[in-house]
A and B are shown apart, each in its own frame.
Chain A
Amino acid sequence: MGPLEQSPLHRSDAGDEMRLVARIRAGDQQAMSELYDRYAKVVYAVSLRVLQDAAAAEDVLQDVFLQLWRNPDAFDASRGSLAAWLAVISRHRAIDRLRKRRPEVDIEDCVIAGGPDLRDETERALVIEKVRVVLAEMNPDQRKVLELAFFQGLTHTEIAEKTGEPLGTIKTRIRSGLQQLRAKFAG
């Protein structure tokens, strides 16, 4: 399989995303079904990677889509990618579940912006491959910090204890690692 076939986004069309969200906002259940078909794998993959538990990841999948159905205005289609937004929301909800805590970030407050244009399905697949390349080429310590923070849900304090690095260094590595990803798509 090539990278495009592996992408969970290969069925989406440019511009279709905003129309889909608009239909959901209008209460169209069929639109929600289409959205699920398009992005369920993204949400499930992030949740499963964080939780390492299929049943728990399935619960997060339900929770994320149900929240979007209840409050479609939480996502601002004019500012960022729905795929990226769902990935972030899924990660937050999975971490909440991992720590057995109430959701701390309201989906309305999770504003997302910038980054490459992900509306086109082919472009999205290319972007994901590019991000994977950036991660592979990244300093191993920096990549490890990002993975521990995002996918394993370790706090910066826990990462500092685990790696033996100063707290400030961990914070800086998280920020600069994310900015390295962004830099690849700048200009």
Chain B
Amino acid sequence: MKTHEQFADDLAVYALDELTGVERQELEDHLQSCAACRRELHALRGDLGLLGLTSSGPQPPARSKDRLMRAIAAEPRGVSLPDPAPALRRSLWAILVPTLAALGLLLFVVVLWRGNGLMKDQLAELGNRNQDQSIQLEQMNQELRLLTSPDAVHVSLNPQKAPKQPNGTAIFSPSQKGMMFMASNLGPVPEGKAYELWIIPSTGAPIAAGVFKPDDHGNAIMMDHKMPEGVEAKAFAITIENQEGSDKPTSPIVLMGAVS
């Protein structure tokens, strides 16, 4: 950004109307706030005027004045205009006042219309936000009902052999027909692999209940899962399977917990 002093030379070029582009814009911005530069600019124009006055030459052709006076006569104004008759003035007012009133009303309607459009947009935006918040609230309510349900069963899953002591908790509710699973201290899984949760029923084969991968800290959570109807769980377990999930456990159990 230029300093005040750096604009000094540009002022003379600007006075000649030869400053362009960024330089012109920068100087015009500076002139807005610098009274000293404005004074210098006006003085430089005065200097240019002196320079211009040194020109000498022939008188302009006589026809030039006739041409100018004809042009001026075609654009009469001020005191040289004939005084319009009062009746004409009244009729002019009679036209002017309703016209201005109509224009004012039209302007008012346009402003209202535009304002209405903006309010509609804002209302639609608020409606969308309200809908999103309602969905989030309903999900939270479902999770809260699951956690606080009298028949909610908490199952702790403990490590079988792992040295890092990973652990997990499965919470399910037959009445809510839902379940949640949380785990921590889980080790990372190989590429293309994931942990898979199993519901071990009283009878029959383990039922796959979803795959998940822990975060960098070994934590994982599965929410909003459906509990299969008619299944009496006697235990929960997790194994490491292909990340697409498996129909049956194919690797050793990492965590397991019995329903007490």
Contacts and interface: CB of A to CB of B under 8 A. Distances in A.
- A and B associate: yes
Interface of A: 6, 8, 25-29, 32-33, 36-37, 40-46, 48-49, 54, 57-58, 61-62, 65-66, 69-70, 79-81, 83-85, 87-88, 90-92, 95, 104-105, 110-116, 124, 127-128, 131-132, 135, 146, 149-151, 155-156, 168, 171-172, 174-175, 178-179, 181-182
B164 interface: no
A75 B216 CA distance: 76
Interface in B49-69: 49-61, 64-65, 67-69
Contact of A88 (B49, B61, B80): B49
Given A61-B64, A149-B18, A171 B12 contact: yes
B43 to A, nearest CB: 4
B120 interface: no
Contact of A175 (B11, B54, B72): B11
Nearest to A135: B54
A49 B57 contact: yes
A82 to B, nearest CB: 10
Interface in B1-56: 8-13, 15-18, 20, 39, 41-56
Nearest to B38: A111
A182 B43 contact: yes
A44 to B, nearest CB: 4
Given A28-B78, A40-B64, A111-B45, A150 B56 contact: no
Given A80-B46, A84-B46, A128 B57 contact: no
Contact of B17 (A104, A114, A151, A171): A104
Nearest to A185: B50
A172 B41 CA distance: 15
B75 A113 contact: no
Contact of A178 (B12, B56, B71): B12
B76 interface: yes
B60 A61 contact: yes
A17 to B, nearest CB: 14
Contacts, number: 185
A110 B54 CA distance: 20
B73 interface: yes
Contacts of B49: 80-81, 83-85, 87-88, 112, 115
B17 A29 contact: no
Nearest to B19: A156
B42 A156 contact: no
Given A27-B80, A42-B55, A105-B17, A178 B48 contact: yes
A21 to B, nearest CB: 13
Residue picked from B12, B49, B58, most chain A C-beta under 10 Å: B49
B55 A84 contact: no
Q: What 7 A-B pairs have minimum CB-CB distances, sorted nearest first?
A: A27-B78, A84-B49, A87-B52, A113-B42, A171-B9, A115-B46, A175-B12
Contacts of B129: none
A128 B17 contact: no
B77 interface: yes
B98 to A, nearest CB: 28
Interface string B217-242: 00000000000000000000000000
Nearest to A69: B72
Contacts of A104: 17
Contact of B47 (A25, A151, A182): A182
Residue picked from B54, B73, B81, most chain A C-beta under 10 Å: B54
B101 interface: no
B79 interface: yes
Contacts of A132: 54
Interface string B72-109: 11011111110000000000000000000000000000
Given A65-B68, A149-B18, A41 B60 contact: yes
B9 A175 contact: yes
A128 B54 contact: yes
B29 to A, nearest CB: 15
Contacts of B76: 27, 29
